[in-house]
Amino acid sequence: MGQNSKIALVTGASSGIGAAYADRLAKRGHDLVLVARREDRLREVAARAKEMHGAESEIITADLATPAGMDKVAARLEQGVTGMVNNAGFGLMAPFAEQDWARLNDMIQLNVTALTRLSHAAVGPMLAAGRGTIVNIASIVAFGGGAGSAVYAATKAYVLALSNALADEVGGKGIRVQCVLPGLTETEFAETAGFSWDRFPADMRMSVDALVDAAFKGLGRGERVTIPSLGDAADYDALEDARMKLFRQGSKSAPAGRYLD
């Protein structure tokens, strides 16, 4: 790596959101650790970061849906980084009963297990250093996916819940945790999920660059949860207030009266 004191690891860095994060992080003075399955694409991202911003890159080819891939990247994180972006993931869109279990399991391993494993590997050294940033990429479907996205929505709800709980735990110890909830974003996601972007009007689809730039602005403002397309932040605050109201009522010595009639 180079002489930069800031090193950021990005998963799913070979294209789309991950590649855009790599570019913005390099522009902000980070050297990079780029993770994905395709080495050729990672080398292209690394070359652009070097040419445009002078950033050095370490490339790790790994399939994060496998234990070996998770362990490989976790070992690098245990050496210490100043920031990481858990971006790797994919979705499947089809009725639950019709989806192939092996593919569903791969999605759970990548979207949930790998993200958790890598966050765990990163946070210890960050706590020891007293600084660090973890960015987890979820999805707006974390608030409730429709028919055909049951498991994908569940994985992203997990990412949101983990991010919020982790922020509570380490937020006062020099570590920032941000969860980004994209809506429809024009990436290769559609090909993997099995649908066409043409199903959706253009005013519902955000570009990758716009999404990542908004996410960085949210991070700079100290947002724990960033929803780039949300016009009024008070709407999310109201949701959180309602959630906490329910939480506080969730543990009592007797069922509520309406269950005792």
Give me the DSSP letters along 21-57.
HHHHHHHTT-EEEEEES-HHHHHHHHHHHHHHH---E
Cβ proximity of 173 and 220 under 8 Å: no
Residues in the chain: 261
Q: Per residue in 95-144, pLDDT tens?
A: 999 999 999 999 999 999 999 999 999 999 999 999 999 999 999 999 98
The ranges assigned to domains in the chain are 7-234
Can you give the pLDDT at residue 149?
87
CATH superfamily to which 7-234 belongs: NAD(P)-binding Rossmann-like Domain (3.40.50.720)
Cβ proximity of 55 and 30 under 8 Å: yes
In the residue annotation, 152 being an active-site residue is answered as yes
Question: Which among 197, 193, 177, 173 has a CA at the least distance from the CA of 185?
Answer: 197
Can you give the pLDDT at residue 39?
96
Catalytic residue among 21, 152, 158, 259: 152
Cβ proximity of 142 and 157 under 8 Å: yes
Q: Residue 220 and residue 208: Cα distance in Å, rounded?
A: 18
Q: Per residue in 193-243, pLDDT tens?
A: 566 666 666 666 789 999 999 999 999 999 999 999 999 999 999 999 999
β-strand 175-180 against 132-137: which pairing, if any?
parallel
**Please, what is the average pLDDT of the chain?**
92
Q: Residue 25 and residue 27: Cα distance in Å, rounded?
A: 5
pTM score, whole prediction: 0.92
